[in-house]
């Protein structure tokens, strides 16, 4: 993890609710380049809403999100046009969804899924696009011979790796992941987590990962936020939080893992 004086992402007082009650309330944190932050909590704790608000898929009701853009430094996302936000999402950000089918185009080839983001930022040479897509297939431990197969013929774990490749091909600096392993069986989860850990380290990615699984936080995250009822109840270094939880809710989460 590289830590400069300026954060890559600066979140202050973020609130987003769906019915005036459920959602996230008054959340603040900084994320630095190359840092992995896990947001943990039970279903309904507000962690997925927080991810949507931070990534501007659902604009917050109050608070601010500032991002260190390549061109202008730290910029409030509220000041950016819809077109600029879309460009940011296609280039400098990635968003990996829990169900890979929601993050892929299921009727086009695996190679086309990966190359599509490059085309969105100006890539046009068919041979080069195909070569880059193939390289990412191999990086994600997918059979290069399946470059022209559609995702419908892939297993769930393979689809998730394909979705990750689709997001990383433009070399984003920040990736949002919403329960990336939740829909996979245990053996496939372990393989994907190992791959994610290597990718994050090799590419120097910053990531915000939402999960209910503390083992994911333990393996991947430098820091962890624990959410309950839409609010952050504990935050800090992941090992510190999991080895010596201070808040009763965090203690409950940790003890439930130890007993399972």
pLDDT tens figures, 203-245: 999 999 999 889 899 999 999 999 999 999 999 999 999 999 9
Give me the torsion for CA of 140, 34, 54, 156, rounded to 10°: 20
Count of residues for the chain? 260
pTM of this prediction? 0.93
Rounded CA-CA distance 108/144 in Å is 16
Is-contact 134 85, C-beta < 8 A?
no
pLDDT classification of 181: cutoffs 50, 70, 90:
confident
Q: Report whether 48 contacts 212 (CB < 8 A).
A: no
**Does residue 103 contact residue 95 with C-beta atoms inside 8 Å?**
yes
What integer is the mean pLDDT of 2-22?
85
Produce one character per residue of 157-194: b if its CB has 16 or more CB atoms within 10 Å, e if not. Answer: bbbbbbbbbbbbbbebbbbbbbbbbebbeeebbeebbe
**Residues in contact with 34: Cβ distance below 8 Å, sequence separation at least 6, in sequence order:** 1, 2, 3, 204, 205, 206
Residue 212: Cβ-neighbour burial (10 angstroms; 0-12, 13-18, 19+): middle
Q: Is the dihedral of CA 106, 120, 128, 114 positive or negative?
A: negative
Beta bridge partners of residue 175, listed in sequence order: 94, 207
Cα 18-21-24 angle, rounded to 5 deg: 70
**pLDDT, tens digit, 9 for 90 and up, residues 47-104:** 999 999 999 999 999 999 999 998 889 999 999 999 999 999 989 999 999 999 999 9
d(CA 182, CA 134): 27
pLDDT of residue 123: 66
């Amino acid at each position: 993890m590289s830590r400069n004086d300026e954060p890559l992402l600066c979140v202050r007082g973020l609130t987003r609710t769906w019915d005036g009650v459920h959602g996230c309330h008054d959340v603040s944190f900084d994320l630095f380049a190359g840092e992995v932050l896990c947001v943990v909590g039970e279903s309904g704790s507000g962690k997925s809403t927080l991810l949507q608000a931070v990534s501007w898929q659902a604009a917050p009701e109050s608070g601010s999100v500032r991002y260190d853009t390549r061109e202008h430094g730290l910029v409030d996302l509220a000041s950016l046009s819809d077109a600029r936000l879309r460009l940011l999402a296609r280039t400098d950000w990635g968003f990996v969804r829990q169900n890979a089918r929601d993050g892929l185009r299921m009727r086009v080839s695996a190679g086309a899924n990966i190359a599509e983001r490059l085309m969105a930022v100006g890539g046009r040479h068919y041979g080069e696009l195909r070569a880059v897509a193939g390289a990412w297939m191999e990086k994600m431990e997918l059979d290069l011979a399946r470059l022209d197969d559609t995702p419908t013929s892939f297993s769930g774990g393979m689809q998730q790796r394909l979705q990750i490749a689709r997001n990383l091909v433009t070399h984003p600096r920040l990736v949002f992941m919403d329960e990336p392993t939740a829909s996979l069986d245990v053996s496939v989860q372990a393989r994907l987590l190992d791959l994610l850990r290597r990718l994050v380290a090799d590419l120097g990615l910053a990531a915000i990962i939402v999960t209910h699984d503390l083992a994911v936080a333990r393996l991947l995250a430098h820091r962890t936020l624990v959410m309950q009822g839409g609010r952050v109840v504990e935050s800090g270094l992941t090992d510190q939080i999991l080895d010596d939880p201070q808040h009763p809710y965090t203690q409950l989460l940790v003890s439930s893992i130890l007993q399972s």
